[in-house]
Amino acid sequence: MRFFLILLLCCPLFVLSQGTSAFQKDYQLHITKTNTPVKIDGELNDAIWATAEKTSDFWRKYPTDGGRPKKNTIAQVAFDDKFFYVGFTVFDSGKALITSLKRDVGHDSNDGVALILDPLNEKANGFFFVVNAYNAQSEDQLSPGTQVTFNWDNKWYSATKRYTDRWTAEFAIPLKTLRYSADKKIWGINFLRISAKDNEYSCWTKVPVNFRSYDLGYTGALIWNETPPPAGTNISVLPYITADVQSDKENGKGTKTSANAGFDSKIALNSSLNLDLTVNPDFSQVEVDQQVTNLTRFNIFFPEKRGFFLENSDLYSAYGIDPIRPFYSRRIGLDKNGNRIPILFGARLTGNITKSTRIGIMNMQTGRKGDYDPENYTAVSINQKVFKRSVIRGLFLNRQASLTDAEKKADPLSEYGRNAGTEFSYTNEKGTWNGWGAYHQSFKPGISDKDKYLEAGGSYNGRNFSLTIDLVSLGTNYYTDMGYVQRIENYDAVRDTVIRVGFKHAFTNAMYKIFPKKGPINTHTLLVENYVVFNPNNTFNERNTSLTYNAQFNSTAS
């Protein structure tokens, strides 16, 4: 507790460090309307590209910042009543470096271009659209704290074309895919170029090397001369029907038949609020989990890939830290081994109700399967933006099983599991100072102590020096029926059983970087990391300390 008090006393430092920035005054781009739909062929020969405003020269972002890139890039934007268009002219001669043509593999190690878009211009949530030089697409949702939902998928259009001294790219993104306010005439925007063969990243705005290229705190201003058009009706329904016929002639058994049906639906109530509905979902189209050999003593955290749970998933998943997540959507409709438990129906309402307030309300009902009883899951989350880039959020979770009196008596803890908590995350306008605190409590039948999760931490992210400190206290009786906690359940080999033991941890990470102006090495990095775990009675449990040196060369050629 002493550590928490020290950290809380330091919190005013984070507030004092908040400054004002006129960043978007230096980078402005006006969007042009076209009355003729753009043909997405990658050629940039539509009339709109001759008149649409062009960006100024890009800035080098990586491996070092501050200068101009080796090769220039031009970006333009336009719109009509249905689409948001982007055109890129990428100056480059020779063959492009491409490592994959697969969709959604990301942008690293490929020559490519990307659009970073923050329609609400709140530096909190946005979109990231990428294509490589051979038109392999990837799109992600951006959330506060540079969180990225990589598994978010939406339909958009793009094309690329190669010339002797350049290659070009065109995007057409449906306006109904973007979540924006119709009266917002200034959006946050940035453009990224990845030149893998030159080992170089460049952006339209001057993004410091110590921040992600898609950091929404460093977007320029996209200025609409007229009100953005309404997104229009956005309703999608994905029905399915399956049939099964089985015949066991060898054993003389008759033919068995079965059929199933259901649907998923997404309804945009307005341009920033969505309703997702599902009835008897199948999820058969979802990509299977990557096969992993687990040689650790902890369970593996597999990412959620079911589309129903993905959009605005940060409203629930951002609570806690990586080893401690009160909400983990794979607890719904899947058992601990990843086997399917039938979901009868469900609904999710997520999005912005004001420019600074986001909500998430979800209810799901599962059916009976084997030893698993029917259960109802409820999750409610609210995020309120404060200051420039800070958030106060609250969460309530409830898992309620349908049990008989005999079942409740045999296993009282299985009747229900509830969690409630609040968190505060502070980020100054430049993103260099961060501070956070969390208080959560779980509720189980007959348990009233050792049921809390407390966290406090802070970080500084400078160009040369960065420091992170995080302190956690987790009670032995802190249950997360709808979540994931990595360390609390421990296998006792002597008694061949799993026991619950709470813990406290102190994590420190300090990093110093040197950027030589000359020579084959562009970055020297020295990293010191210390992770100490204590038992609930403050006795020592575990410590991991590391000292790492890394050298990054200008050329990554082997």
Which of 251-255, 282-286, 386-390 has the highest average model confidence (pLDDT)? 386-390
Is there a contact between 185 and 223 (Cβ–Cβ < 8 Å)? yes
Query: Is residue 18's pLDDT more than 70?
Result: no
145: confidence class by pLDDT, cuts 50, 70, 90: low
- What are the tokens at 237? 């329904």
Long-range pairs of 340-344 with CB within 8 A, sequence gap ≥ 24: 340/283, 341/366, 341/367, 341/369, 341/372, 342/280, 342/366, 342/367, 342/369, 343/278, 343/280, 343/281, 343/367, 344/279, 344/280, 344/374
Is there a contact between 145 and 124 (Cβ–Cβ < 8 Å)? no
* Mean pLDDT, residues 317-341 taken together: 89
What SS3 string covers 223-236? EECCCCCCCCCCEE
- Please give the DSSP secondary-structure letter assigned to residue 304: P
What is the pLDDT, as a whole number, of residue 222? 97
Peptide bond before 520: cis, by omega within 30 degrees of 0?
Answer: no
Bridge partners (DSSP) of residue 170 are 87, 159
What is the pLDDT, as a whole number, of residue 103? 84
- What are the tokens at 395? 């969460």
% of the chain with per-residue pLDDT over 90:
62
- 238-252, 269-283, 306-320, 443-457: the lowest-pLDDT one: 238-252
558: confidence class by pLDDT, cuts 50, 70, 90: low
Amino acid of residue 4 = F
pLDDT in tens, 264-300: 999 988 878 899 999 999 887 787 778 888 887 777 8
What is the pLDDT, as a whole number, of residue 286? 80
**Domain spans of the chain, in order of start:** 22-224, 235-270+272-501
Which CATH number is 22-224 given?
Answer: 2.60.40.1190
pLDDT in tens, 23-71: 788 999 999 999 999 999 999 999 999 999 999 899 999 988 889 999 9
Closest CA to 280 of 331, 329, 240, 335: 240
496: confidence class by pLDDT, cuts 50, 70, 90: confident
- What are the tokens at 551? 């050298």
d(CA 298, CA 317): 20
d(CA 191, CA 189): 7
d(CA 103, CA 502): 42
Bridge partners (DSSP) of residue 346 are 278, 364
Strands (E), 205-252: 220-224, 235-248
20: confidence class by pLDDT, cuts 50, 70, 90: very low
3-state secondary structure of 516: coil
Query: Is residue 252's pLDDT more than 90?
Result: no
* Mean pLDDT, residues 76-99 taken together: 93
Bridge partners (DSSP) of residue 383 are 358, 393
d(CA 503, CA 490): 12
β pairing state of 273-279 and 220-224: unpaired
16: confidence class by pLDDT, cuts 50, 70, 90: very low
pTM (two decimals): 0.85
Q: How many CA atoms, within 13 angstroms, populate the side-chain half-sphere of residue 229?
A: 18
Query: Is residue 444's pLDDT more than 80?
Result: yes
pLDDT in tens, 115-139: 999 999 988 889 999 999 999 999 9
What is the pLDDT, as a whole number, of residue 361? 98
93: confidence class by pLDDT, cuts 50, 70, 90: confident
Handedness of CA 132, 136, 141, 145 (dihedral sign): negative
What SS3 string covers 310-344? CCCCHHHHCCCECCEECCCHHHCCECCCCCECCEE
- Please give the DSSP secondary-structure letter assigned to residue 9: H
d(CA 264, CA 62): 42
- What are the tokens at 522? 């562009």
pLDDT in tens, 147-185: 787 778 889 999 999 999 999 999 999 998 898 888 889
The set of residues, in sequence order, having a beta carbon less than 8 Å from that of 289 and lying 6+ positions away, is: 302, 305, 338
Query: Is residue 90's pLDDT more than 50?
Result: yes
22: confidence class by pLDDT, cuts 50, 70, 90: low
d(CA 156, CA 141): 14
d(CA 186, CA 363): 35
- Measured between alpha carbons, how far is residue 424 from residues 10, 33, 382, 389, 516 in Å? 15, 41, 12, 11, 38
d(CA 460, CA 466): 5
β pairing state of 489-492 and 497-500: antiparallel
